[in-house]
Amino acid sequence: MLACAKRGAIVTGVDFSSEQVRLAREAAAYCGVNVNLVEADWQNLPESVSNNYFDLVVTECGIFIWTKNLDAWMRSAYRVLKNDSKLIVSDFHLISMIAELEDGKVAFRRSYFDQNPEVCQSEEDASPSIEFRWKLSDIINATIQAGFRVDRVEEFYIEEPADIPFIPNNFLLVATKE
C-alpha cells in the first residue's frame, strides 16, 4: 500500500482493527505519503467507500481467516471496483495452516474439509480470536458468484523456517470485474 502511494497512487486502506489502522497511519507518516485509511469490515463496507471507484483491490496474507462471510467480502470487493478492474488476493493456503511436520512426515491436525471456526490463543494474556477456515475452492467459487472472472489461480511455497516444503503455503488469485 505504501509503496504504491510513494509512486503516486491514490490509496485507500481498509482494516477492521483500530490498532492496525493506527499503525498504518504511523507508517504512512514515516514514509511521507498520504493514504485514506478506513476502519471497517470488508464484509460490510460503509457507503463512504464508493461504488465503482477503485482500479485495483489488493489483499495480502491473512485476510480470509478473519472473514466469516466470504460471499459478502467478495460482493464488497466487486462493488467498489470499476468495470474491467482487478482483484488481486495473496493469502495463506489452508492446507499449510492445518499441517505439521512430525518426525519428518507431514501430519494434519484437522481435515481440510472441516470448516468449523477455530478459537485461537496467540499469547497467554491476549484475548482469544476466532479464525475461519476456507478451502481454496470456496474462495474461487465466492469470487465467481460475486460476478468476477477468475483470470488466474496459483498455489506456491514461500520458504520460511517453520514451514513444510512439501505443500503450498500461499496462493494467488487474480480476477477481473466484468
Q: All domains of the chain, ordered by start, with CATH?
A: 11-40 (no CATH), 41-177 (3.40.50.150)
Query: What band does 122 get if pLDDT is binned at 50, 70 and 90?
Result: confident
Q: Which three-class secondary structure state does DSSP give residue 131? A: strand
Place of cell 462471510: 69
Query: Stretch 14-20: mean pLDDT, rounded?
Result: 89
- 124 within 8 A of 137, measured Cβ to Cβ: no
Share of the chain above pLDDT 90, in %: 62
| Alpha helical stretches, state H, the chain | 2-6, 18-31, 70-80, 94-97, 136-146
Query: What band does 1 get if pLDDT is binned at 50, 70 and 90?
Result: confident
Query: Stretch 146-174: mean pLDDT, rounded?
Result: 88
Mean pLDDT of the chain: 91
Residue 95 has pLDDT above 70, yes or no: yes
Q: Compute how many other C-beta atoms are within 10 angstroms of the C-beta atom of residue 43.
A: 17
Residue 64 has pLDDT above 90, yes or no: yes
Q: Compute how many other C-beta atoms are within 10 angstroms of the C-beta atom of residue 85.
A: 19
Residue 83's pLDDT is 97
Side chain identity, residue 20:
Q
- 77 within 8 A of 146, measured Cβ to Cβ: yes
pTM above 0.85, yes or no: yes
Query: What band does 162 get if pLDDT is binned at 50, 70 and 90?
Result: low
